[in-house]
Structure 1
Amino acid sequence: EICRQILDRPAPDSSHIEEEERPQLPWWKTKKWASHIILRMFERYGSPGNVISKEYKEFAEWFLQTFSSGLLTVLLKILDQYRSKVYVSPRVMTNTIDYIKTAVSHAFSWKMLKPHILVIIRDVIFPLMSYSDADEELWESDPVEYIRKKFDVFDDFVSPVQSAEMLLHNCCKTRKGILTQVMQIIMQIINTPNLGHKEKDGALHMVGSLAEVLLRKKIFKEQVEQLLMQYVFPEFASPHGHLRARACWVMHYFSDIKLKNPQVLEQIMRYLSNALLTDKDLPVKVEAAVSMQMFLISQDDAAPYLNNQIKEITMEVLKIIRETENEELTTVLQKIVCTYSDQLPPIAVEICQHLATTFSQVLETDENSDEKAITAMGLLSTMETLLAVMDEHPAVLASLHPIVLQVIGHVLQQNVFEFYEEAFALVCDLTSKSISPDMWKLLEIIYELFQKNGADYFVDMMPALHNYITVDTPAFLSNQNHVLAMYNMCKSILTSNNTEESECSAAKLLEVIILQCKGQIDNCIPSFVELALMRLTREVKTSELRTMCLQVVIAAIYYNPTLLLDILQNIPIPVPDSSITDHFIRQWLHDFDCFLGIHDRKLCIIGLCTLLSLGDRKPTVLSELPDKIIPTMLMVFDGLKRAYVARATEGEEEESEDESEDLEDALSSDEDDVDEMNPYYKNMAKMVQEKGAEAGFQITASIQDADSDDDDDDDDDDDEDGDELDETALEGYTTPLDDEDNPNAVDEYILFQDVMTTLPSTDPAWYTMLTRNLNASEQKQLQEVFQAANQRKEMKRSKQIEKSGGMLMAA
């Protein structure tokens, strides 16, 4: 009520004060905060169906019915002042319009607003969305600042223009009959004889803001193509730069249109390319570039129309990126690079040099640091895209490497930590196929950086570090300092106060080294194993970290079981009432259900198979647990089977497309627009269950509302059926075990079958102990695993025949 009274009181006349200074006057500051408070109260606690927590549901109903009348009366009065040319500060306008936008969704408040809404649209929204005197002055005086302002996402939050767009869109989308009446208003404006260029801009602005709704309403989408040709296309030749820019902007928002005439698409692409290449006004070029990108994304047939000009277009985009330092344009360039990878090799080096120079330029300017950072990240991401698409052009790639390496060196050596993530991504790209002498020198720089202040970025370094180990393993092992650097980084992470995500990555790196360098690093294995086991002596909060540390030791079993058992016997870690070997194996078997994905389960099976085959050298604790070993392995195999099925079906799944012929979610006057995402979640849950069934397993987990009272976040007994759907986060760091194309790679099914068929003759007593208490279900599972092993043997043999040209003869 206090806020309502503050907003209702007339502000003293301020016409004698400069307009830029008026928002700082005490009256307008007070009104700004009063409008902000009622808006936040309504959005968070007073809007039924949209409150931040279910406990406010009753309060929201009370708030809506108690305060709507009084507050809306005052807010409508503020809008009436604006339409009567009485000054209202931008922030108060923004908050007022945002409140009304939310009120439109509720039947109770909509009934109060409905009689006024068309007047609001015509006399408030339309003027706000029209080209203003301030826009014109900024366009003429500082076009770069004009572009920055128009593309500033932070400015949108406090802009009455953006709020006006959203109110217009919400009214037309959610309330029956409003879209038709609004389009009549727009057509009436746009067909006015001698219409001013600023008003024409406002009408086109409104059309573009309604693009999504128009394209989904059957009655309108049939007419959109003609509307664009009649009212938008002519503005590409307008003498007013802002209308040429608006034409590009409108086309951007209609890029999803299904055109009946293919020649219209050709015409659109010609308009946009001409605007980009020939227009004298920078804002027009920027809007043309962004719109062009949207058509390349949305229209499959758009790309060929730019083939003949793509080099000129690319260089022009690079030029305006340097002039404007606009982050939107870096995504435009990325799309161009991806789409026209075959045409760009001749200028790829020039593109990369341009990006590097612009990146240095952006780093040297201190103004608008947040925006500059986004732009700089975009430039680095574009370099990454360029490297990826030039992958099939080795000569070009070789010329790009020194330029990119220089940029990486600048970021790392100057400690520009804001861009470490992007820099390490580029290091990963430069080391993905081969590792040059310069890249080995860069590893030294990375290690030095880690020692100074880089531990927080260890997870970002991981892909590049993995490449250093796996891409050229002989070179990695040729210098002991390489291995020592990796170990020291892992040791620092695992013995200091770091996140468990970083610690998981460190343990994974140790595992990768062990598996990649089998038989070549005997002297390192004791240190690696001790480091992993020592971490387990301290508190471990997540099963992921515990499993990763166990996997380091399991990898060492695969590396050399005798060596590992000797290490465990001599390791200086006290374990009460047990040896470290016994404790480790018991923990391993206990945690078998924490091994997820394919790699982790595969390593688990291979490690157990290795122990089972040790004969007299096997740890004595195994003889104490014979009834647990095979059932545990069968359960791991069951998880493996589902993980393989999930991976095989992953590429076949397609996103469900909403091809609704008509947008039928407009509401009548007595309906509320609440909980808009629920239908989406229901459809998503249905799709997940269907796909799960296709993959051979049942999904029983459900998608819960974020406000659900069932707060089970801390429950460790999560539904296991979801574990097979995705590979573990670290599974992308491949090892020789994961190379299924290698005919000599270990197959866990075949290995298990070989072990189980060999044991009866080599160690019959041990085999009997392992299998004597298997129940009927477990015996059936065992046979299924053997059948899978036979199938895999046959597949391997078929691949070998195919690889050798079909010349292998049957045995």
Structure 2
Amino acid sequence: MSDTNTVVQLLAKSLQPSTAKESENGLRSLDAHQGFPLTLLNIVSSDKMDMGIRLAGALYFKNLVKRKWIDEDGHYHLHDEDVAAIKREIVNLLIHLPDHLQVQIGESISIIAESEFPQMWPELLDELVQKLGPNDMVTDKGILKIAHSIFKRWRPLFRSDELFLEIKFVLEKFAKPFLDLLLCVNQLIDQAESGPKENLSLLLENMLLLIKIYYDLNCQDIPEFFEDHLKDGMTVVHKYLKYHNTLLEDPSEDEEVDLTTQVKISICELIQLYTTRYEEEFHSFIPDFIQTVWDLLKNITMQPKYDILASRALQFLTAIAAAPTYAPTLNNEEALKQITEKIILPNITLRESDEEMFEDDPIEYIRRDLEGSDSDTRRRAATEFLRALKETNEKVVTEVILSYVNSYLSNFQADHSNWKSKDIAIYLFSAIAAKGSLTNAGVTVTNLLVDVIAFFTSYVAPDLVSSDAYPILKVDAIKYIFTFRKQLTKQQLSEAFPLLSAHFQDNNYVVYTYAAVTIEKILSLRDPTEHQKLLFDQNDINPSVVKELLTNLFGLMLKNGSTPEKLSENEFLMKCVMRVLLTTRTSLQDPNDVLQQLLKIVQIISKNPSNPKFSHYTFESICVILTDYSSSIEQYLTIIKPTLFGLLNQEVQEFVPYVFQILAYCLEVFPKGKPIPEEYHQIIKPLCSPAVWEYKGNIPAISRLISAIVSSSPSSFSNAEQLKPILGVFQKLISSKVNDNLGFHILETILTSVNLQYTQNYLKEICVIIMTRLQSYKTEKFVKQFIIFLCWISCLPVSDSQVIDVNGLNSQFTIKFVDNVQNGLFGQIADHFIIPRINTFNNLVDKKILMVGLTNVVVENFESVGKERSLRTIAEVFKLLVSDSIKNYKNMDESLEILQNLDNDEMTFGSSYNELNIIRSNTVDPISNIKNRDMITQYVKAKLGAMNGFQNLISALSSIGDPELNEALKKLSYIH
């Protein structure tokens, strides 16, 4: 057991920014001690401890579980005794904790359950059911929190037999106690209507959890139990959608969402699920729910605390509008006018709170409105509802909404102080002009009943050029271009470009940020006539315009950068920098200056990395310059080294994977034959140390950097002392189900780079490690990687149609490498693993390597491989060669795929690996000169044709009597 006082002192230090790093290092040094997790839990559960320390302990425990509970190979990284004790005690502990501590420990249980429940922790459910009952609502609340933390994991999962077996296991034990408690809590709420408030609040908290679990248990399919008791359940659900109690509601509170509203939000989510997924079973209840939701939307105020409820209620009506059974009741002109006036208009009209956010918290305003994260805003939900109505009756909806659009425009024309009227008009018009859902990708198809360009010219464009336009109308004008950019011609977009960039001089944060977002999206457009090409390239933008753009963007970031957090809060500006650099490529007037600006920003934000997206785009921008000027990589490496190695020395963990990737890329393009910088030699030992591998996000980047160092400086690995640590890395990776592909990559690098005389003594041990993994816990992924590895080696002498020597690696080496472990082992591998899988590969490059490599193995080792095995191998190669699966084989242009990946905004700090797309590592193709099916066929036929007894081979193949093989032989013109 770890010393409690020591742990408490370290947790106290974690609360102070100045000692947080020291605290983390100290706590990590205790991670491996038996009893440390239980010490943390004891601190969390002790009501004598300071609440800040208890919360720090709960957070550290959750992160410890996330890091060390179990790895991808099923191995615990905590002591077995601790694992057993945690599972035994954590439920009781959570029940008695305050709410904010329950959240952290509940998440910990969810993480544990992900790997343990139900197979390795079946007693958990029995314990939960046993403690659940009508007599202790405090305990019930804790139990329901645990249950929800486990069951909510099912919501986003794909359907599978394993998932349904888990849900079935839970339902058999939990469904009846759940329903009994739902009905019981409903009765107790009736009895507690008049107070005291604390009792009623506790009951409503339980009801909220019960509704959430109702969704969890039904999220994949409607269970028979719930179908049989649908009336019991939905009667309670409907009751609390209408529920009010003045004890729990504070009309003067604007922001904080009260308990009854939270319950209604969860109910709206549940009835939307039933409407969209189980309409046949639910249809008789739907009319009552429609009326209740309608009344709810009409009666709730415009206070921000009701925003999520309004959004969820509108999402339910959107599902109704899309359902053929109910859509007709909403689609007559009179109903549409009612809907527009009572529901749509109130929810898209800007409120005072929206204007305050526009002024006081502009980045949040932007993220809600533009980024697509505003699914909880009234505007987004009302717009989606309107679009759903339009999908089923476009003509009537368009006519009705246009009448409101024209009315609001007239109101603005009569008095320009009525700017909100114009804002509503533009918003309504945009909603009906777009077909389908409006996403960040822009509108692809428009409503033919309206003229998007004419509306822009008449009503929107004036606000784009007017300096007097109200800021929100400027934003509307910019956003209109953002939304309908795909409907504008290249000429129109080119003309809009200077108008947009002029807004970088605007002092309004939202205005200039919208301009940056829209410019970035315009520059990422594909050419509609040639989809594999971008619409704009470096010839379309004058270098002086580029310089001005970048100067303005950097200026805006630094202007607001009073702290690292403020500097990095606006990722939209940095994303625009990245896109401008990608478009202009080598036409930059002063790339050195841009690089220095980016490095300066990295140095500032490294003091407190707080926005993963901003950081990612900053490093991607650095990579653009490095790739565009890779011929001068020595010069640029000299510029970036102080910053990159400074980040490593300061242990800025969030940036370490980026540093490793950039350092690896610089070596990959470094002039061959030149000595690499000394700093690379100095980091080899730290890269092989266990500490740096603890962070999962580091692993792919470290592997790439090690491979780059080995490849660039093979002479640095000419003795056992230098080579063994790298082979240790290979062994660590090859033993991992997640990272075994990286192990093969490092092994390929070692074999092709380091002189064979230095690796010769380790080859048997290397193969034994692979065979051990193959025997002990093989996966299909690992088997296929091993097969491709063997074929990859066998391909190496083939380059530009000539035989070359690659460190003595060829098909003979392949067989010796395996047979060195046990004589005849390669034949067994071929029979049991290779031949049965030849036609199961998906990747086109893998198929090519497979066919060329196996052809080499058979032709060059016919006697040792054996006639029968060779015939079976070539038969499968021929069938693959003529199959439809490779008819489109060609070298893929990856540049557009890279650009597409840049729009993936799912960047986080932590255990996940964020790959830098601009310099991403591509699979090495050892036979890149063989580019298509015809060239593969030509190679295979030429190689086989040079064999002694080739005709006998073809005769033997044709006599096998396999119709698929005979068809392949005909297509290859071997038989007629």
Structure 2 counterpart of 1:648: 890
Indicate which of 369, 380, 383 corresponds to 1:162: 380
Name the CA shift for 1:14/1:126 in 2 (closer, same or farther; >3 Å). farther
SS in 2 for 1:340: helix
Indicate the SS of the match to 1:431.
helix
* Inter-partner Cα distance in structure 1 for 2:366 and 2:581: 23
Structure-1 separation of matches of 2:250 and 2:784: 72
Distance 1:407 1:46, change over 3 A: farther
Aligned partner of 2:345: which letter? F
- In 2: Cα distance, 1:399 partner to 1:779 partner: 60
Q: Select the residue among 505, 511, 533 that pairs with 2:742.
A: 505
Q: How many Å separate the matches in 2 of 1:478 and 1:97?
A: 69
CA apart distance, 1:506:
1.1
TM-score, normalization by structure 1 = 0.70
* Partner-residue secondary structure (3-state), 2:350: coil
State how far apart, in whole Å, the 1-side matches of 2:555 and 2:721 are. Answer: 44
Question: Is the contact made by 2:811 and 2:853 (CA closer than 8 Å) also made in structure 1?
Answer: no
1:43 aligns to what? 272
C-alpha separation in 2, matches of 1:550 and 1:265: 51
Q: 2:284 aligns with which of 51, 63, 66?
A: 66
Q: Match of 1:121, as an amino acid?
A: T
Measure how far apart 1:474 and its partner are: 5.0
Give 1:274 shift. Answer: 0.9
Give 1:285 deviation, angstroms.
Answer: 0.5
Offset at residue 418 of structure 1 (A) = 4.6
Query: Which residue among 373, 377, 388 is the counterpart of 2:627?
Result: 388
Deviates more, 1:580-589 or 1:172-181: 580-589
Instruction: Report the AA paired with residue 856 of structure 2.
Output: I
Instruction: Give, in whole Å, the separation in 2 of the partners of 1:253 and 1:379.
Output: 26
Which residue, 673, 688, 694 being the options, matches 1:453?
694
Question: Would the alpha carbon gap of residues 152 and 442 (structure 1) be closer, same or farther in structure 2, given more than 3 Å must change?
Answer: farther
Change (3 A) 1:375 1:174: farther
CA shift in 2, pair 1:339/1:553, >3 Å: closer
Query: Does the 8 Å contact 2:368/2:377 carry over to 1?
Result: no
**Cα deviation 1:497-554 (Å, max 9, x = unaligned):** x22x412331343234334557554344333323222322312121x31243355556
> What residue identity is the alignment partner of 2:769?
L
Question: Aligned residue for 1:106?
Answer: 323
For 1:157, what is the secondary structure of its paired residue?
A: coil
1:34 to 264, 289, 304: 264
Report whether the alignment pairs 1:125 with 2:344: yes
Q: Quick one: structure 1 residues 273 and 80, their matched pair in 2 at CA, closer, same or farther if it must change by over 3 Å?
A: same
State the AA in 2 paired with 1:315: T
Specify the alignment match of 1:190 in structure 2: 409
Partner amino acid, structure 2, of 1:759: N
Kindly provide the CA deviation profile for residues 316-362 of structure 1, in whole angstroms up to 9, marking residues without a partner as x: 22333453522233332222111112332x33233233333333433
User: Is 1:426 equivalent to 2:662 in the alignment?
Assistant: yes
In the alignment, structure 1 residue 491 sits paired with structure 2 residue 721 = no
Counterpart CA distance in 2 for 1:139 and 1:40 is 29
Give the CA deviation at 1:138: 3.5
1:629 to 870, 877, 882: 870
Cα deviation for residue 190 of structure 1 reads: 1.4
Map of 1:151-550 to 2, 5 A cutoff? 154=373, 156-176=374-394, 177-192=396-411, 193-194=414-415, 196-213=418-435, 216-217=445-446, 219-220=448-449, 223-236=451-464, 237=466, 238-259=468-489, 262=491, 264-276=492-504, 278-298=505-525, 304=540, 308-322=544-558, 323=560, 325-344=569-588, 346-365=589-608, 369=610, 372-391=611-630, 394-395=631-632, 397-406=633-642, 408-409=644-645, 412-413=648-649, 416-419=652-655, 421-434=657-670, 436-437=676-677, 438-448=679-689, 452-453=693-694, 457-470=698-711, 472=712, 483-495=723-735, 498-499=736-737, 501-515=738-752, 521-542=759-780, 544-550=781-787
CA positional deviation for 1:406: 4.7
Q: 1:211 to 1:448 in 2, by over 3 A?
A: farther
Q: Distance in 2 between matches of 1:439 and 1:46?
A: 60
**DSSP 3-state at the match of 1:648:** coil
- Separation in structure 2 between the aligned mates of residue 750 and residue 62 of structure 1, nearest angstrom: 62
User: Is residue 926 of structure 2 the alignment partner of residue 733 of structure 1?
Assistant: no
Q: 1:650 to 1:554 in 2, by over 3 A?
A: closer
> Which of these residues, 848, 851, 854, is aligned with residue 598 of structure 1?
848
> The residue matched to 1:434 in structure 2 has which SS?
coil
Q: Distance in 1 between matches of 2:835 and 2:444?
A: 57
C-alpha contact (below 8 Å) 1:130/1:198 kept by paired residues: yes
User: SS at 2:434's partner residue?
Assistant: helix
CA separation of 1:137/1:567 partners in 2, compared to 1, >3 Å: closer, same or farther?
closer
- The separation in 1 between residues aligned to 2:241 and 2:340, in whole angstroms, is 22
Show CA shifts across 1:159-213 (max 9, x none). 2222122222322334332023212211210121215123322322333344423
Question: Which structure would you say has the larger RCO, counting Cα contacts within 8 Å and 6 or more residues apart?
Answer: 1
C-alpha contact (below 8 Å) 1:493/1:506 kept by paired residues: yes
Instruction: State the Cα distance separating 1:145 from its structure 2 match.
Output: 5.2
CA distance in 2 between counterparts of 1:768 and 1:142 reads 79
Matches within 5 A, 1:573-592: 580=825, 582-587=827-832, 590-591=835-836
Q: Map of 1:735-774 to 2, 5 A cutoff?
A: 736-740=926-930, 753=942, 757-760=946-949, 773-774=956-957
Q: Specify which of 751, 754, 775 is matched with residue 958 of structure 2.
A: 775
Pair 1:502–1:377, CA change in 2 (3 A) = same
Distance in 1 separating the partners of 2:615 and 2:321: 40
Name the CA distance, whole Å, in 2 between partners of 1:150 and 1:217.
Answer: 21
1:646 partner letter: N
Q: Distance in 2 between matches of 1:589 and 1:748?
A: 20
Instruction: Call closer, same or farther: CA 1:120–1:441 in 2, change over 3 Å.
Output: farther
Equivalents in 2 of 1:481, 1:327: separation in Å? Answer: 45
Cα distance, 1:650–1:492 mapped onto 2, change above 3 Å: closer
Partner of 2:128: none
Give the alignment's Cα RMSD to 1 decimal.
4.1
The alignment partner of 2:587 has SS state of: coil
- On the 8 A contact 2:815/2:826 being kept in 1, the answer is yes
Contact 2:812 2:861 in 1 (8 A): no
The alignment-based identity, stated in percent, is: 14
TM-score, length-scaled by structure 2: 0.59
Cα distance in 1 between the residues matched to 2:837 and 2:357? 66
2:881/2:937 contact within 8 Å kept: no
Q: Kindly indicate whether the alpha-carbon contact (under 8 Å) linking 2:571 and 2:613 is maintained by their aligned counterparts in 1.
A: yes
Partner amino acid, structure 2, of 1:183: L
600 and 411 in structure 1: CA distance in 2 versus 1, 3 angstrom threshold: farther
